[in-house]
Chain A
């Protein structure tokens, strides 16, 4: 087992929700969306993820409900398969192997055994030429069916599923690419092409971006790069077609959708405003503004009550037909760059990083869910290209998570820089951070680093913050009591300003006990006493500026580590103020583990990044992992685990208490795991999910603990060995009772006796007291009854009953239910006989 244990890099959390159009179930209770290799089923009311449909081995590119059976779902993927799922139970029904990379899949109501796929020509993605092909979805039995029969319908189309749409009852298909709209009529087997000129007199940009077909009429809506929406009619005639244009969007129309009846047209784009064109006319339009970020996809539920928009910030907004937001499904927001780096909130152990513009997102990695988003900038966000927005560039938490410091900046021209530092205090009542102090222009130039002093061990430790900036200064900020006549308040003031020969301050870092502050000024590292703010000593490593700086922890607290832009990793001993060792590794990220002496360094010399985990006092690294990802690692962070994990191998012991997460160049969040992929996946797989989801409710935890305690107490009282029993788990009847949906079950009064009997029979070796104890959670009546029965049941076993329990399968079918009822009758007679 130990030998098998291997460190592997795994993608974790924050998969993309906005990759393709989401789909609603027929009753609009569920929202299905493709994320990465999976399809997730969300509840539209609670925003909870109900199932994860996994089976694809590559990116899922499209999903569509089966028009013949609205409880089934087709999904297509780049792995060349189309899979049919039962999404309510999360079961894979069938797999159609096509063999080409599938970029989109369409399925029409009329033809039940065929679908349409967009595949690359010659099966090469690089060719940049795609085809729309008809694929036969044979009804052949078997889980996996090979379908190689493809017939070409349209050549040279856009790969995006948004650029192809099927018209009224599947009579025609419209596809746009570049400046051409092409309509293929299935009956006539003819293609009409409608070109537009590239530039009009007014300088409009006529390139097509998306297309949608009216569900009832012969009308095609197309979106354009310049924000126009064109409505094409009468296109059955090659020459006499007409089109009308509607213009509201100021930049490209990203997606279009008709409502089910075709009365309204929905459009969205960069402005992040959902526009509803009533009766598809220019005069009657309604807006839903400030949806957060660019709308990428719009989809409408089959019953017409809901629609949803997918946004670039990895979000799906579910909107009611009266244009009111009803729910938001938010994933990990991935911006273009994570300027704050990865930070851990000590309170929630959540990963904190830049969220949507001007926000800080708190992302829970365990549940892969955004906990909340903190509005830092607190300004109206204008979605417009070319505007320089206020960016959140730095964030830091105090050791206890009571304080959060953020720095935001906006630079329009070289000369005018707007800087703001905000200090947030955690409000227990609101359970959120509250703005405490705002510092305008804390420095004259960009802030390069900020860190809090760890005041855990120190008596009456005043919260202290240090900021370092390019203006060559580092400033120490401390809290002061600003209590006023009517309210208690704490503010921050600058306590000390330090500089070193006017060099730029690049990094700052407090030692573990908070007694020393290390600030790096270009090539020189200075160490300051944090009590008196005296310069204690300076270190200099000739080649290169210091990139990052950190103190060793616990037994290695006498070491100070730094990396330089020449790739040197230096370790200074603070006791004798000398360089302990240095090595040229090309280290780009240096991250200490808060719970141990371990320090992770990521180096990037050639193509990929390598990970080194070491202790400053040991000559040999604990672990070396080559090529953890392509390109440079942006930032990394250790997140303490809630429960220490048992890691078999000595080599990977550093992973047991905290987990290392890192962000790659492509903004993907990765982590290290020693578990094999199967083991890692099991908890999330469907079967276990339903089983485990039940006991893990807070109620269960409470009750379970309570019961355990009681049982222990009871055992102690009776002075007999503890009989380890899991009655609820072992008894199939109870399991059934708990797992069968309530509406299927017969009434509780009927089930009561069976339930009690099941307990008694399965626990015949147990004493009465224990049994009674277990039944306690049931109704009073049940308890009374059981008290009467207890003495006799042990010997009076109904053979029929045991037989029944034996053949009980996890699923409660109709026939079994009937049997259950039958037995219930016998049961009653049996009770009355007593």
Chain B
């Protein structure tokens, strides 16, 4: 004897993003904290040492924020004009920043005034960074040059002027203390070795370069400029690995996740995209309110901070698992009796009597099993099912029509019940996934209750609304068809005609005719 088969509720594919490990990971942030800065945020940098404070460069100030603080714990504001690119040294004790007037200043985190000031650039120094030996600083400026400075002696070591446009970005290698990369608006990325006078490598990005990034291994270089993010293999002499075009405005900043598995890019199109560094596919993306200029991730991806053109700093902290644990789950007292004896391991001498597994049927299934069709329909027209899972209601209706008893189930309803049914219809009849079934139901209802039309004002009104909805949908579909027709016409003019198939066809026919004639 086959057991009763419950009504199959067709699962409809959910639209939108698929839930992947990445979406779960990147969605695990709390709602963002917004901090208003004085101007566009051009750089955010996390201190490499705990407690991982971060320096935010905006307008003429550098603010240092604590991890969860909304107010700056320290401010460096002795800039005449805009400050740029405040960057921590590896030990987190020193901070270097460029400025609009061209000077590069070095600050002690605990102090207030600059420890050193390196003057030499004639125009704004937009990029500064420490080399990994901690005693040298490199800077790039709008005077097309990039310079190396010695911290102890506060003197210029070397100056490179190979770029032919503003130098706006750069980074240093973490592995080799002599290597650094600069990106310029002359569409090139250059790799310099401090020991030589000339650039070691030049890479043509093709657009003004806004940001460059070296992978921790030092072998791969990422450059961003225009709408493109390009990944280069330096060890192969600047071979282009992949070119990503996922933004529709200029990409302004790049960042690697702490594991190095994901690459983040922020753009003026207000999106942050996250790529896998193995497949270079976008695995997740964030939306922001304004164009993004800077982006930073805290170690362990604890915090993601985005600085925007409107001066807003958007800080997201990761949710922690223990938060979930704190909410005690209420367990029904019946649960224990329910699982009683489930985990019992039978002993060797025990005689095992297997109990048939009882599958619990839903209420509507129980009613359908006993052929109580009207009650089954009532059961699925109750609020939770009707409102939250209309697909169950429709599935039961379809099952009833399959059994040929839909009419019986729909008939004999009073004003209130009919009202519910009609409201449900008006709401869902135009949904493409339900339409085939619900149109059928609507027709049946009209057939059944036509004779009593006009007796209840409420029901009549609902019938009118249903009619309205259906008419509106018909108009809409008509419009859509018109559009489709127009598009077809456009496509038809675009594609050239293929002659080959026609030729072959006529050929085949003639051959066949010949054959027939000969036989």
Tell me the A residues contacting B by CB distance below 8 Å. 288-292, 317, 325, 375, 378-382, 384, 386-387, 390, 410, 412, 416, 418, 438, 440, 482, 484-485, 524, 535, 537-542, 577-579, 582
Contact = CB atoms under 8 A, between A and B. Distances in A.
B1 A288 contact: yes
Nearest to A382: B403
Contacts of A288: 1
B195 to A, nearest CB: 48
B8 A541 contact: no
B436 A416 contact: yes
30 contacts: A288-B1, A289-B1, A290-B3, A290-B4, A291-B1, A292-B2, A317-B1, A379-B8, A379-B399, A380-B369, A382-B403, A384-B404, A386-B404, A387-B404, A412-B401, A416-B440, A440-B10, A485-B20, A485-B24, A539-B512, A540-B505, A542-B509, A542-B513, A542-B516, A577-B504, A577-B511, A578-B511, A579-B511, A579-B512, A582-B515
A380 B5 contact: yes
Contacts of B501: 535, 537-538
B16 to A, nearest CB: 14
A540 to B, nearest CB: 5
Contacts of A381: 5
B4 A579 contact: no
B417 interface: no
Contacts of B500: 535
Interface in B1-25: 1-8, 10, 18-21, 24
Contacts of A289: 1
Contacts of A484: 18-20
Given A538-B505, A577-B508, 15 more contacts: A375-B5, A378-B8, A379-B5, A379-B7, A380-B368, A387-B404, A485-B24, A535-B498, A535-B501, A537-B501, A537-B504, A538-B504, A541-B512, A542-B509, A542-B513
| A380, A482, A524, A535: residue with the most chain B Cβ atoms closer than 10 Å | A380
A272 B476 CA distance: 49
B501 to A, nearest CB: 5
B504 A387 contact: no
Contacts of B332: none
B507 A577 contact: yes
Chain B binding site: helix, strand, loop or mixed by DSSP?
A: helix
Nearest to A358: B5
Contacts of A540: 505, 508-509, 512
A416 B437 CA distance: 9
B394 to A, nearest CB: 13
A325 B2 CA distance: 10
Contacts of A578: 508, 511, 515
Contacts of B509: 540, 542
Contacts of A386: 404
Given A484-B18, A582-B515, A290 B508 contact: no
B416 interface: no
A538 B508 contact: yes
A485 B8 contact: no
B508 A539 contact: yes
A538 B502 CA distance: 9
A107 B11 CA distance: 59
A485 B19 contact: yes
Nearest to B504: A537
A412 B436 CA distance: 13
B402 interface: yes
Nearest to B516: A542
B447 to A, nearest CB: 14
Contacts of A538: 501, 504-505, 508
Contacts of B516: 542
Contacts of A539: 508, 512
A579 B403 contact: no
Contacts of A412: 401
Contacts of B498: 535
Given A378-B5, A538-B505, A542-B513, A410 B10 contact: no
Contacts of B513: 542
Contacts of A292: 2
A384 B1 CA distance: 18
| A378, A410, A540: residue with the most chain B Cβ atoms closer than 10 Å | A540
A317 B513 CA distance: 61
Given A380-B368, A540-B509, A577-B507, A410 B402 contact: yes
A239 B511 CA distance: 86
Interface in B33-67: none
Contacts of A416: 436, 440
Contacts of B436: 416, 418
Contacts of A378: 5, 8
A384 B368 CA distance: 15
Contacts of A524: 505
A567 to B, nearest CB: 14
A32 B21 CA distance: 60
A578 B511 CA distance: 6
Nearest to A417: B436
B21 to A, nearest CB: 5
A290 B1 contact: yes
A452 to B, nearest CB: 24
A293 B81 CA distance: 90
B8 A325 contact: no
A539 B403 CA distance: 46
Contacts of A325: 1
A579 B24 contact: no
Contacts of B515: 578-579, 582
A292 B2 CA distance: 7
Contact of B508 (A317, A382, A537): A537
Contacts of B505: 524, 538, 540
A288 B2 CA distance: 10
A430 B501 CA distance: 48
B403 A290 contact: no
Contacts of B507: 577
Interface string B400-435: 011110000000000000000000000000000000
